[in-house]
């Protein structure tokens, strides 16, 4: 979904901003952000995982859907390893996930083709905490508490804050990644270049994200709207109130 794609793109752009002098070679212009920052869960099924990881330039950028409690000690206790988490309003997350699932198409369950859940059933499932990574609220809370206990290790970002002050969040993210923008870079507009490169409008219109694929999924399906508060167009007032009660 877009908010995950956006964070990956921003981190990749921050780390690879030396490519700006050769803009046509920038990884994001020819690769979907999911390819630039691979999922640990998918790498686990790779026959040559270690060789692949060793081939990535250091510091390596990797992503996961795992809860904080499920992270291995090798991530939590290795000096220098840092964690960036992005959270979004649960109502918008629910709608985004539902729409994404509907676009991906039919799901296979016990050899039978099953149509994607309609929004009403997706809402019920979400409220019950049914998710591959555990209940949404537990997932967010785990990383939130970790960021408070160890802010040097865990950075907790809110999608809504990033939308409101993208440039400020990009600079904060760069500092956390130990790759801060210099005064000269800020004067030269490099921060804004990163923001522009990773904008929804720019990424969604790149050929790789219009016609390329990430596994069996069309890259275009990762780009829907990226708007804050769009859930009010799909959820009833009763649904919105119920989500407020169980997530507040």
| Each residue's pLDDT tens digit, 213-234 | 887 788 888 888 889 998 999 9
Instruction: Output the pLDDT for position 204.
Output: 94
Instruction: Output the pLDDT for position 110.
Output: 44
The domain total for the chain is 1
**Each residue's pLDDT tens digit, 122-163:** 899 889 988 878 899 999 999 999 999 999 999 999 999 999
Neighbours of 22 (CB within 10 A): 8
Q: Mark whether 65 is an active-site residue.
A: yes
Q: Residue 97's domain is classified under what CATH number?
A: 3.40.50.300
Instruction: Output the pLDDT for position 45.
Output: 63
From 34, 65, 139, 242, the catalytic residue: 65
Average pLDDT over residues 200-225: 89
Instruction: Output the pLDDT for position 101.
Output: 77
Range of the domain at 80: 2-247
Average pLDDT over residues 182-197: 95
Distance, CA of 43 to CA of 27 (rounded, Å): 20
């Amino acid at each position: 979904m877009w908010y995950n794609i956006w964070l990956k793109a921003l981190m990749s752009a921050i780390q690879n901003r030396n490519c700006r002098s050769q803009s046509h070679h920038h990884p994001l212009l020819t690769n979907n952000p999911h390819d630039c920052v691979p999922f640990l869960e998918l790498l686990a099924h790779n026959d040559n995982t270690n060789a692949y990881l060793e081939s990535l330039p250091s510091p390596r950028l990797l992503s996961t859907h795992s809860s904080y409690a499920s992270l291995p000690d090798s991530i939590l206790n290795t000096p220098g390893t840092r964690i960036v988490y992005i959270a979004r309003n649960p109502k918008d997350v629910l709608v985004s996930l539902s729409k994404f699932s509907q676009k991906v198409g039919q799901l296979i369950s016990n050899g039978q083709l099953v149509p994607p859940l309609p929004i009403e059933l997706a809402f019920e499932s979400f409220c019950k905490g049914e998710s591959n990574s555990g209940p949404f609220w537990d997932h967010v809370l785990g990383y939130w508490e970790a960021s408070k206990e160890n802010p040097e290790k865990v950075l907790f970002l809110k999608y809504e804050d990033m939308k409101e002050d993208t440039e400020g969040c990009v600079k904060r993210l760069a500092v956390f990644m130990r790759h801060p923008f210099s005064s000269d870079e800020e004067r030269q507009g490099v921060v804004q270049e990163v923001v522009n490169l990773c904008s929804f409008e720019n990424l969604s219109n790149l050929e790789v994200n219009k016609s390329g694929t990430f596994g069996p999924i069309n890259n275009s399906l990762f780009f829907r709207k990226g708007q804050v508060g769009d859930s009010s167009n799909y959820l009833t007032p009763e649904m919105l109130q119920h989500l407020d009660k169980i997530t507040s």
